[in-house]
Amino acid sequence: MGLRSFIVMKDLIDLKIFARPDTAIEADIAAKICEKHGFIFEREKREKGGGVHTIVEVIEPPTAKTIEEEPQEQLELRAPIITFMGHVDHGKTSLLDAIRKTKVVSGEAGGITQHIGAYSVVHNGHPITFIDTPGHAAFSEMRARGAHVTDIVVLVIAADDGFMPQTVEALNHAKAAGVTIMVAINKCDLPTANIMRVKQQLQERDLMPVEWGGSTEVLEVSATKGTGLDSLLETMSLQAEVLELKANPKASMRATVIESRMDPGRGPTATVIVQSGTLEVGEPFICGPYFGKVRTLINDLGQNIKKVMPGMPAELVGFNGLPNVGDEVIEMETERAAKRLSDERLEEIRLKKLAVPRRSSLETLFANIEDGQRKNLRLVLKTDVQGSLEAIIKMLHEIKTDKVDIDILHSAAGPISEGDILLASASDAVVIGFNVKIESTAVSVAKREVVQVKLFSIIYELVDQVKEAMLGLLDPETREKPLGHARIKQVFKLTRGIVAGCVVTDGRIERKARARVLRGGQSVFDGHMDTLRRFHDEVPEVRNGLECGIRVAGYTEYQEDDVIECYLLEKFAQAL
Ligand code: GDP
C-alpha cells in the first residue's frame, strides 16, 4: 500500500494485535486495514499448489504526484526570485517600495498594493518577483527547512556607511546558500556617500565589481530619489537570463510557503511562490502535515485570480491548519488522498518528536564522512572580541589533514544569535562559541533545529576538539561517553565561590570528568568539573539519587533547574 510500517503497526495495535514488520497477519485483518486506507483487498485462488494467495489492488496510491523528468520543450522561462539583504537601515525596505512604486505608477492595472510578503513587477515585458521579508534569519530559516526559493540575493549597502556587521552576516548567509549575489549601493544621493570605499570593501571580500574586471554586478542607486532603479531591474533580468531559470507550467504543481498567518475571516492563509506547474483554484494539495483544496488565490494587488504561474507569488486560502514557512504545497490527485497523506505525516511527526534526528556534530563528523556525505567540517564561529576571533581562525586553518577541510561559514564577535543557529541548521554546520553567551531565543531554536552548539573558554581546548574531530576521520575513536546528569536545585553563593546544589538524576557524576551545563536541553557551557562535594567533603564520585555540590571550572552563572551533564571523552591512539 506504500504506507510506512509504523502506520500499519499502529492500526494493528488498534485491533489489539501487536505485530512487528515481519509478522504474518490473518487475511481478514489485512482486509480491514486495506479498507481503512482506501484499498480494495482481493483474494486470488491459484490452481496449482492449491494455496490461497492474497493480493492487494492499489486504487489510489497515497503519495503526492511524483515529479517526472521535465521534457525540455515544455520548460518555459520563469520569473527570477529576488531577496534583498543587508544591514539594518541601509534601505532594503525603501528599495523594495521604490521599485514597486515605479511599476505601479507606470501603469500596472488596478488594485491596491497588498503586503503579502512577495510581489512581482514587470520589467521590459518580463516578470521579476521580490520576496518582501528582508532579513537573513528568515532567509536561512527557509533554507533550513529545505526550501530553496531565492535565485538572486541583492546585498544592499548604504554608500555612507559601507560594510557593517549585518552586511557581513547577510553575505555569509547568501554565500552558504550558493545563490547569485548582486550588490546595490544605496543612498548614493547623500553628500557623505563614498562609493569608492564600498567598492574597495567588496573587492576585499571576493566580490570584485564587473567594472573592475570582476564578476559581481554592482549598481549605484538611491531609493529616495529613485535613481538607478531601472538599471538595477535590467541587471536582474540579465542575471536571470544567464541563470536560465526555467520551469514547466504543465508539470504537477509545487509551491513554497514564504509566509503564513491566521486570517480572522478566511482562516489559515499563506503566501506561496510557485516553483513548477500551475497553481489553480480547486486543486487539492498537501503541505507539510496539512492538506486542503485551493479555495481562493489573491495576487499582490489584492485581486482574486484563477491561476498562478511558476516564479509568481500569491496568497492561498484553503489549508486545514497553519502551514510552516518553508513547507511545500504539493498538488494531489484527490482531497481524500491528500487527507490520508496528511494523517500519515501527522503520525510521523508525532513519532519523530520521540526520536532525535541525526545532525552534524563534532562527534559524528567522522561517521558522516564515512557515509561519503561530507568532506568538510562546517563551522559558525562566535567569539568575545575580534582579536580572539582572528587568533582562532588562524589556528583552525593551521590544522592540516588530507581528508577534511574546515569551512567557516560565518565568524564574528558577539553572542550566538538565532540567525547563527539558523545558518548552521540550513548548512548542517556546528556552532562554536568562545567566551560568549548564547542568546535565550537561540537556545530554543538550537533545540528545535538540533544544532550542536559547543562553547569554550580556553582557546587550545577549542582548537584541540576541532582537531580531534578532524583526526577522527582517520580513526574514529574519540567519542563522548555519558556518565550521568545532575539537576540544580539551588544555587549557593559561598565565600569560596558559587556552588550549584544538585541532585544526581541518573548515572553518576565524577570529579575528574568533563561537564557541560544544559539549559532547556541545550548546552550553555562546556568544560570540566572543578569540585565535587558531599556535605563538606571532596568526593571522587556521586551516584544517582544523592545530593551534591558542584562547581564547573570557569562557570558561575548557574540557574535552578539547569542540568549538569557529566561525560568522558574517550580517546584511542590516533595517527595522521
Ligand atoms: P532597512 O532597515 O534596510 O529596510 O532600511 P529602510 O528602508 O527602512 O531605510 C532606513 C532609512 O534610510 C530610512 O529613513 C530611509 O528613508 C533612508 N533611506 C533609504 N534609502 C535611502 C536613499 O536612497 N537615500 C537616502 N538619503 N536615504 C535613504
Looking at residue 364, what is its pLDDT? 63
Where is average pLDDT lowest: 148-152, 320-324, 368-372, 427-431?
368-372
What is the distance between the alpha carbons of residues 258 and 83, in angstroms, rounded to a whole number?
12
Contact at 8 Å (CB) between 484 and 506?
yes
Please state the φ and ψ torsions of residue 572, each to the nearest 5 degrees: -120, 170
Residue range 80-102: average pLDDT?
Answer: 91
Beta bridge partners of 486: 504, 564
Cα(126) to centroid(ligand 1), Å: 27
Distance of CA 155 to the CA centre of its chain: 21
Q: Alpha-carbon distance 241 to 415, whole Å?
A: 40
**Residue from 94, 132, 156, 186 whose mutation best tests the ligand 1 pocket (most atoms within 8 A of CB):** 94
Q: What is the reported pTM? A: 0.63
Q: Whose CA is nearest to atom 24 of ligand 1?
A: 187
Report the atom number in ligand 1 closest to the C-alpha of 134. 4
384 and 436 Cβ atoms separated by less than 8 Å: yes
Sequence-ordered list of residues with C-beta below 8 angstroms from that of 366, at least 6 positions apart, any chain: 469, 472, 473, 476
- In this structure, what C-alpha cell is assigned to residue 228? 538607478
Is-contact 120 127, C-beta < 8 A?
A: yes
CB neighbour class for 360 (10 Å; exposed up to 12, middle 13-18, buried from 19): buried
Total residue count of the chain as it appears in this document = 576
User: Residues 199-234: pLDDT tens digits?
Assistant: 999 999 999 999 999 999 999 999 999 999 999 999
pLDDT confidence bin for 109, thresholds 50/70/90: low
Task: Give the list of residues 6+ apart from residue 92 with CB closer than 8 angstroms, or none.
Answer: 84, 85, 86, 134, 156
Tell me the average pLDDT across 285-310: 93
Give, rounded to a whole angstrom, the gap between the first and last alpha carbons of the chain.
50
Strands 279-280 and 307-308: antiparallel
Residue pLDDT, tens place only, 499-557: 999 999 999 999 989 999 998 877 888 888 999 999 888 999 999 999 999 999 888 89
Pair 159, 194: CB distance under 8 Å: yes
Query: What distance in angstroms lies between residue 187's CA and the mean position of ligand 1's atoms?
Result: 7
380 close to 411: Cβ distance less than 8 angstroms? yes
With a 6 Å cutoff on the Cβ, whether 189 touches ligand 1 is yes
The residues, ordered by sequence, that sit 6+ positions from 514 with a Cβ below 8 Å of its Cβ are: 526, 527, 528, 529, 566, 567, 568, 569
Task: Report the pLDDT value the prediction gives residue 232, as an integer from 0 to 100.
Answer: 96
Spatial distance between the Cα atoms of 394 and 387, rounded to a whole number of angstroms: 11
Distance 294 CA to ligand 1 centre (A): 38
Asked whether residue 460 carries a pLDDT value surpassing 70, the answer given is yes
Q: What is the chain's mean pLDDT, rounded?
A: 83
The whole-angstrom distance between residue 86's C-alpha and the CA centroid of its chain comes to 19
Whether residue 59 has pLDDT greater than 80: no
In angstroms, the CA 168 to CA 160 distance is: 16
| Residue pointed to by grid coordinates 482562516 | 267
Classify burial at 97, counting beta carbons within 10 Å of its beta carbon; exposed 0-12, middle 13-18, buried 19 or more. Answer: middle
Residues with Cβ within 8 Å of residue 216, at least 6 apart in sequence: 181, 182, 183, 202, 207, 208, 209, 210
The H-assigned helical ranges of 286-364 are 335-352
Q: What is the per-residue pLDDT across 434-457, written as a single tens digit (0 to 9) for each?
A: 989 888 888 888 888 888 888 888
pLDDT at 572 over 60: no
Cβ atoms of 453 and 433 closer than 8 Å: yes
Give the integer Cα–Cα distance in Å for 488 and 509: 13
Residue of the nearest CA to atom 11 in ligand 1? 89
User: What pLDDT is attached to residue 510?
Assistant: 93
As a whole number, mean pLDDT of residues 31-44 equals 75
pLDDT, residue 501, reads 95
pLDDT score recorded for residue 472: 63
* Reduced DSSP (H G I as helix, E B as strand, rest coil) percent helix, strand, coil of the chain, to 5: 25, 35, 40
Residue the block writes with cell 486570517 = 263
pLDDT at 301 over 90: no
DSSP state, 222? B
Does residue 187 have its Cβ closer than 6 Å to ligand 1? yes
Kindly report, residue by residue over 317-371, the tens digit of the pLDDT.
999 999 988 889 999 988 888 888 888 888 777 666 554 445 566 766 655 555 5
pLDDT the model gives residue 477: 47
CA 90 to centroid of ligand 1, rounded, Å? 6
Each residue of 6-17: pLDDT tens digit? 788 888 888 878
- Ligand 1 centroid to Cα of residue 192, in Å, is 14
244-254 CB burial, b ≥16 within 10 A, e <16: ebebbbebbbb
Residue 233, classed as helix, strand or coil, is: helix
Q: Please work out, in degrees rounded to the nearest 5, the angle formed at the alpha carbon of residue 204 by the alpha carbons of 199 and 208.
A: 55
Closest CA to 547 of 490, 483, 481, 482: 490
Could you tell me if the CB of 93 is within 6 A of ligand 1?
A: yes
Between the CA of residue 369 and those of 272, 375, 377, 473, what are the distances in Å? Answer: 36, 6, 9, 7
- Please state, in angstroms and rounded to a whole number, the distance separating the CA atoms of residues 319 and 295: 9
What are 89's strand-pairing partners?
none
More confident residue, 173 or 142: 173
What is residue 322's DSSP assignment? -
Per-residue pLDDT for 190 more than 50?
yes
The residue among 103 and 247 whose pLDDT is bigger is 247
Residue type present at position 159 = A
457 pocket-lining for ligand 1 (C-beta < 6 Å): no
Vertex 432 angle, CA 133 and 173, to 5°: 25
pLDDT at 60: 43
Question: If you measure from the C-alpha of residue 180 to the centroid of ligand 1, how many angstroms do you get, rounded to a whole number?
Answer: 24
Residue 257 vs residue 470, higher pLDDT: 257
Bridge-based pairing of strands 478-494 and 563-571 is antiparallel
Tell me the sheet residues that pair with 412.
382
Q: How many helices (H) and strands (E) does the chain have?
A: 13, 31
Q: Which of 89, 131, 166 best tests ligand 1's pocket when mutated (most atoms within 8 Å of CB)?
A: 89
Tell me the average pLDDT across 41-55. Answer: 52
